[in-house]
């Protein structure tokens, strides 16, 4: 057990050292290690489930909510799903070693870029223990070493999973120090970790807004943040009403607790009288609480069977993560874009329209990780957009934006092949 | 003149606001603005040269060294070069709006990435006033707005150049607030600037190690650092001696004051007796001070006309920026790689060899922005590697590594085109 910051540094130094070899390890060995992890998640399920039981008992006796408790549970079914996810990562193409932008220069030099891992990635996360295996498998496949620091509520589960993974990669001939689990959940040690910029190349916080802010403010190395999505769907005056109903319904109702779900529906005045009752009926059936601006309220209030309330002061720009939607009526595309610019979090924004010029302007002028025409914002997801898997969704502009898959966990180095060239 | 941090914030907010429009401005208008700047650098030369005179007089009376004074000078010839550089940037392809990784997904969604500017880039730099126009033209072409804070020694020159550029872009119909020059050089205001992460998307420090460290430690937004190059050239046992002499000579002598110049020469024991005298004769003629490890000293000391001294304790890992080289003899490629791993700064590293396997291992295992086989490290430069221009050389792994051209000053957004798709 790590007790002091010196011990922490020493342990993480081992990971840095090990990462150098992992950086250019062949794909076959990395896949073998992933397959070992997948197999052990099935074969060693009893040990994992017992460790999880300890966390669950502690959580229950400390009065954790049923929803939170559910996120903590590891059972046979969930372990099987984790095992399958790990195999899925093994089956993805290895991004490391890919060559790109290669050209022969006039002087005969061949210059290009070769994809390489970032090095050591630290993940600081809360509650769900499956994140442990998620991060390990994505980092391993992309040639990165991992330092994991999970929350205290899942400490026994996380430790059991990390130990399993260390053994599994070791069986494949990979140094187990490429996976480092910080079993001491003292927050002061997190702060020390965030100052080790000589060891850690990237930190990824996964959890609530408080954790993300803490990491961002204290880390001395790059941080990829994201996951906070204040998402708008704008129904233009020339929208197809059926599409617009299906899209807004899906974006709000299909899974309301996630970052790419709809928060605010913006509707053009010219279509509001036809469109708003149609979507409101469907949303009402699904139990969506509708918080309306005065114009939307005026349209919807008289309709039988639909319950609407006025917007509250901070509803614009709020991520509801629940069956709640704010509704705003605008007089122009400009007004919609300005609203999104002011209140959006740069995550996912959609327009529904059959008007080519409106679609083009929206795509051009809205500044977000993912900008949609005529589709649900729920597609902002590495799996859905063809990346195979994702470690998170970045709302930053540097390095990677939007869903981050394996390739987004890499850097590159320039390779320059000469035959004696010197600079004139 | 900005006096308070509120005034600073207000002024920079204007730049943020203006940057939104600049982000999707057509290439033609941006090029017209660059051409205006190029033209004004010629036509308004008298005003610039007078402003520069004030800086030069102050610098002379404060006892600035001749080398530093020379870097500060703006004359007709230098203004003409700056004008031509600006036209060269105008002639480069516009990275903004480029589509890449576009594919049609099984559900019919067309998903891909569109290149967009980063937004607002702040440059904090020292001494050379041409940096002002350099940064402005590269940022403008890549659709980014610029906040400039140059050193106090060049304040009058910088202010005159920034004012010229603001007028020139305004003549092309671009909001002049896309260029913001902070004319108050009070260091406390720099600190305020580095906390404005809601306005500034990226900071680029250009100057000495002290400035870079200060920016890195205090900035709350991403920083691209680099420019510190401890560069090694390793002459393998199977090197072609003529090539190895030409390469090491060029890497050390052609321009010793820059970051991609050779600092340490590493030579395999088996070739040292033949190679070291050959390179040492050439270096001696050029006045290179050679600091040798005991083995190299033993080989070179007896040779007439060559003056060598023992290495000093911190010579490994030192960026000399002068006609000085450290020389080390190794017994294996492994020893060379380990030395580079320990002392390199991840900038530019070269091997000279005719052995395919050694070249392959070096390329694989050496972790640096640019890794060379049989060429001079002096090619680490945006112009030399085909980028057209560069804003700096990154030794980081996140976002961009190595020479940073226009494309490296951009991000992307995902564009998803649907026809009513919803997530099942």
Task: Select from A118, A372, A417 the Cβ nearest to the Cβ of B418.
Answer: A372
ipTM above 0.90, yes or no: yes
Rg (CA), chain A: 24
Tokens of A352: 């529904």
Rounded to the nearest 5 degrees, what angle is found at the Cα of B371, between the Cα atoms of B366 and B375?
135
pLDDT band at B58 (very low <50, low <70, confident <90, very high): very high
For residue B401, which residues of chain A lie inside 8 Å, CB to CB? 411-414
- The 10 Å Cβ neighbour count of residue A163 is 18
pLDDT at B307: 93
Q: Is residue B226 over pLDDT 90?
A: no
The per-residue DSSP string of B342-384 comes to HH--SSEEEEE-S-HHHHHHHHHH--SSEEEEEE-GGG-STTT
CB A267 within 8 A of CB A290: no
CB A202 within 8 A of CB B399: no
For residue A24, which residues of chain B lie inside 8 Å, CB to CB? 364-365
Task: Select from A23, A24, A414 the Cβ nearest to the Cβ of B402.
Answer: A414
Q: Choosing among A413, A417, A424, which should be mutated to test the B contact, i.e. which has the most B CBs within 10 A?
A: A413
Q: Is the dihedral of CA B320, B325, B327, B333 positive or negative?
A: positive
Strand, helix or coil for residue B24: coil
Q: What residue of B is the nearest CA neighbor of A372?
A: B416
User: A252-272 pLDDT, tens per residue?
Assistant: 999 999 999 999 999 999 999
Q: How far is CA B52 from the centre of its chain?
A: 24
pLDDT at A3: 85
Q: Residue B337 — φ and ψ, nearest 5°? A: -65, -40
Residue from A336, A324, A269, A263 nearest A296 by CA = A269
CA distance A421 to chain B (A): 5
In chain B, % helix, strand, coil (3-state, to 5) comes to: 45, 20, 35
For residue A414, which residues of chain B lie inside 8 Å, CB to CB? 369-371, 380, 385, 401-403
pLDDT at A64: 92
How many helices (H) does chain B have, and how many strands (E)? Answer: 14, 16
Residue with tokens 């349209």: A299
User: B165-198 pLDDT, tens per residue?
Assistant: 999 999 999 999 999 999 999 989 999 999 999 9
CA distance A172 to chain B (A): 21
Check CB contact under 8 Å for B386 and A105.
yes
CA distance B37 to chain A (A): 27
Instruction: Report yes or no: A243 at the B interface, CB cutoff 8 Å.
Output: yes
Greatest Cα pair distance in chain B: 83
User: Quick one: average pLDDT of B81-99?
Assistant: 96
CA distance A24 to chain B (A): 7
Enter the pTM of the model.
0.93
Supply the CATH classification number for the domain A231-384.
3.40.309.10
How many helices (H) does chain A have, and how many strands (E)? Answer: 14, 16
Contacts of A373 (CB under 8 A, 6+ apart): A350, A351, A352, A353, A359, A362, A363, B416, B417, B418
Walk across the sheet containing B110-117 and list its strands: A308-310, A289-292, A324-330, A262-268, A231-235, A348-352, A370-375, B410-421, B110-117, B99-104
pLDDT at B56: 96
Most confident of B151-155, B211-215, B220-224: B151-155
First CA to last CA distance, chain B: 58
Which secondary-structure segment (H or E) carries A141?
Answer: helix A130-141
For residue B317, which residues of chain A lie inside 8 Å, CB to CB? none
- Distances in Å between the alpha carbon of B264 and those of B249, B252, B342? 12, 9, 13
The count of residues in chain B is 424
Residue with tokens 């202010």: B159
Q: How far is CA B360 from the centre of its chain?
A: 27
Check CB contact under 8 Å for B416 and A371.
yes
Q: Are strands A410-421 and A402-404 parallel, antiparallel or unpaired?
A: unpaired
Strand, helix or coil for residue A202: strand
Task: Select from A103, A105, A375 the Cβ nearest to the Cβ of B418.
Answer: A375
pLDDT at A236: 98
Work out the burial of residue B93: count CB atoms within 10 Å of its CB; fewer than 13 is exposed, 13-18 middle, 19 or more buried. Answer: exposed
CB A244 within 8 A of CB B421: no
Instruction: Report yes or no: A209 at the B interface, CB cutoff 8 Å.
Output: no
Q: Residue A102 — φ and ψ, nearest 5°? A: -85, 130
Q: How far apart are CA A208 and CA A71, in angstroms?
A: 14
Query: Which residues of chain A fall short of a pLDDT of 70?
Result: none
The strand pairing partners of B304, in sequence order, are none
CB B401 within 8 A of CB B395: yes
Q: How far apart are CA A421 and CA B365, in angstroms?
A: 22
The domain ranges of chain B are 5-225+404-416, 231-384
- Residue-wise burial string across A375-393, b where 16 or more C-beta atoms lie within 10 A, e elsewhere: bbbbbbbbebbbbbbbbbb
Task: Select from B364, B413, B422 the Cβ nearest to the Cβ of A401.
Answer: B413
User: How many beta-carbon pairs under 8 angstroms link A with B?
Assistant: 191
Instruction: Report yes or no: B279 at the A interface, CB cutoff 8 Å.
Output: no
The strand pairing partners of A309, in sequence order, are A291
Q: Classify residue B33 by its DSSP letter.
A: H
- The 10 Å Cβ neighbour count of residue B80 is 14
Q: How far apart are CA B236 and CA B267, in angstroms?
A: 6
Q: Is residue B369 over pLDDT 80?
A: yes
Q: How far apart are CA B327 and CA B321, in angstroms?
A: 16
Q: Residue A307 — φ and ψ, nearest 5°? A: -105, 120
Contacts of A114 (CB under 8 A, 6+ apart): A97, A98, A99, A412, A413, A414, A415, B363
CB A391 within 8 A of CB A384: no
CB A262 within 8 A of CB A252: yes
Chain A from 354 to 373: CB within 8 A of any B CB: 363-365, 367-373
CB A413 within 8 A of CB A114: yes
Strand, helix or coil for residue A24: coil
The strand pairing partners of B326, in sequence order, are B264, B291
Residue with tokens 């980092």: A139
User: Quick one: average pLDDT of B370-389?
Assistant: 95
The upper half-sphere exposure of residue B23, i.e. CA atoms within 13 Å in the direction of its Cβ, equals 27
Tokens of A193: 């970790």
User: Quick one: average pLDDT of B261-287?
Assistant: 98
Check CB contact under 8 Å for B250 and A423.
yes
- Distances in Å between the alpha carbon of B41 and those of A169, B130, B136, B161? 62, 11, 13, 8
Q: Residue B309 — φ and ψ, nearest 5°? A: -130, 160
pLDDT band at B356 (very low <50, low <70, confident <90, very high): very high
User: A46-57 pLDDT, tens per residue?
Assistant: 999 999 999 999
Q: Is the dihedral of CA B30, B35, B39, B45 positive or negative?
A: positive
Within B219-316, where are the H helices?
Answer: 241-253, 269-285, 294-300
The superfamily (CATH) of domain B5-225+404-416 is Aldehyde Dehydrogenase; Chain A, domain 1 (3.40.605.10)
Q: How far is CA A218 from the centre of its chain?
A: 21
For residue B119, which residues of chain A lie inside 8 Å, CB to CB? 397
Tokens of A213: 């802010």
CA distance B239 to chain A (A): 11
CATH 3.40.640.10 fits A5-225+403-416, yes or no: no
Residue from A222, A36, A207, A13 nearest A136 by CA = A36
pLDDT at B208: 81
pLDDT at A53: 98
């Amino acid at each position: 057990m790590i007790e002091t910051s010196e011990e922490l540094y020493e342990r993480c130094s081992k990971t840095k050292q090990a990462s150098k070899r992992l950086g250019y390890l062949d794909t076959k060995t990395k896949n073998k290690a992933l397959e070992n992890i997948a197999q052990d998640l099935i074969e060693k399920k009893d040990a994992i489930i017992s460790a999880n039981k300890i966390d669950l008992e502690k959580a229950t006796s400390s009065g954790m909510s049923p929803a939170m408790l559910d996120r903590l549970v590891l059972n046979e079914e969930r372990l099987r799903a984790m095992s399958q996810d790990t195999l899925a990562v093994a089956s993805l193409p290895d991004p490391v070693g890919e060559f790109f932008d290669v050209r022969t220069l006039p002087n005969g030099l061949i210059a290009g870029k070769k994809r390489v891992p970032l090095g050591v990635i630290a993940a600081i996360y809360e509650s769900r223990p499956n994140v442990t295996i998620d991060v390990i498998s994505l980092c391993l496949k992309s040639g990165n070493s991992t330092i994991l620091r999970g929350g205290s509520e899942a400490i026994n589960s996380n430790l059991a999973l990390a130990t399993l993974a260390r053994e599994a990669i070791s069986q494949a001939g990979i140094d187990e120090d490429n996976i480092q689990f910080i079993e001491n959940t003292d927050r002061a040690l997190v702060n020390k970790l965030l100052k080790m910029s000589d060891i850690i190349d990237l930190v990824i916080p996964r959890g609530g807004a408080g954790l993300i802010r803490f990491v961002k403010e204290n880390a001395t190395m790059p941080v990829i943040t994201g996951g906070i999505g204040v998402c708008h769907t704008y129904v233009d005056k020339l929208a197809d009403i059926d599409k617009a109903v299906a899209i807004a319904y899906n974006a709000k109702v299909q899974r309301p607790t996630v970052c790419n779900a709809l928060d605010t529906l913006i509707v053009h005045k010219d279509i509001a009288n036809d469109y708003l009752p149609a979507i409101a009926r469907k949303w009402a059936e699904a139990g969506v609480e509708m918080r309306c601006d005065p114009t939307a309220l005026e349209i919807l209030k008289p309709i039988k069977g639909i319950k609407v309330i006025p917007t509250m002061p901070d509803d614009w720009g709020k991520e509801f993560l629940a069956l709640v939607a704010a509704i705003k009526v605008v007089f122009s595309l400009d007004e919609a874009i300005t609203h999104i610019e002011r209140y959006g979090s740069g995550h996912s924004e959609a327009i529904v329209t059959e008007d080519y010029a409106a679609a083009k302007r929206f795509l051009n002028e809205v500044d977000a990780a993912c900008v949609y025409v005529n589709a649900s914002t729920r597609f902002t997801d590495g799996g859905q957009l063809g990346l195979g898997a994702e470690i998170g969704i970045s709302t930053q502009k540097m390095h990677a934006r939007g869903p981050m898959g394996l390739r987004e966990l890499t850097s590159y180095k320039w390779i320059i092949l000469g035959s004696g060239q010197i600079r004139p």
